[in-house]
Homo-oligomer: A and B are copies of this chain.
């Protein structure tokens, strides 16, 4: 079996992201503590986010707009201006947040890039993802970067056809079972799940059972070995 191309998710696969969202969630809960307990506030925010996903797509800007909208609903039209100011500031801080690569990422990618074509495949705001890739220092290791609005089977068909030798000879690697693993397997690629410490509810899904092209790893340092083994057999 030949593998030519390795697709890698970015947020929570190469660098911390969800923890930054969680910190902002906590800040949101503090700001609106007079209007409900944590579970209720988080629930309402999740509802609004989910409702807006179709229009806003993924990323910090849409999330910021959803926080403002939720705050407005929760305060029944009596929205304190400092809440809006704080939410805008929280959004801006997320967009300027330093990028911290996860343990082992630099070494694993350096090793993989010698043998395979690396392609970054990520959702989110275009400019923000480009900024994070530049700040990560990993940019030169990638042969291509695809920032996409949705990760479906068709996405992987297209990306691995364009930047590699088709999904059959590609591996997709990421922390989301729903976005990185399942649709890549459907497209005929290999797929490796490397869970992050927390997962956004929207990205949860069951693992595939006994799929010959599926693997699960605890950390990215095992990835070069896993791919080499897949190639052997």
Write the residues of chain A forming the contact surface with B, with a CB cutoff of 8 angstroms.
Answer: 55-57, 59, 61-62, 64-65, 68-69, 72, 75, 77-79, 81-82, 84-85, 88, 91-92, 95-96, 125-128, 130, 147-149
Contact = CB atoms under 8 A, between A and B. Distances in A.
A154 B228 CA distance: 36
Contacts of A64: 65
A127 B57 contact: yes
B77 A82 contact: yes
A84 B65 contact: no
Contacts of A62: 61
Given A79-B81, A81-B79, A149-B130, A125 B88 contact: no
B61 A88 contact: no
Contact of A126 (B68, B72, B78, B148): B148
Given A56-B61, A65-B65, A77-B81, 20 more contacts: A55-B95, A56-B95, A56-B127, A57-B125, A57-B126, A59-B61, A61-B65, A64-B65, A65-B88, A68-B68, A68-B84, A68-B88, A72-B85, A72-B88, A77-B82, A78-B81, A79-B81, A126-B126, A127-B149, A147-B147
Closest 7 CB pairs of A and B: A57-B127, A61-B61, A127-B149, A77-B81, A79-B81, A55-B95, A126-B149
A127 B148 CA distance: 8
Contacts of A82: 77
Contacts of A127: 55-57, 149
A65 B78 contact: no
A75 B79 CA distance: 14
A87 to B, nearest CB: 9
20 contacts: A55-B92, A55-B95, A55-B96, A56-B61, A56-B95, A57-B125, A59-B61, A61-B62, A65-B65, A65-B91, A68-B88, A72-B81, A72-B84, A72-B88, A75-B81, A79-B79, A79-B84, A125-B126, A126-B126, A130-B149
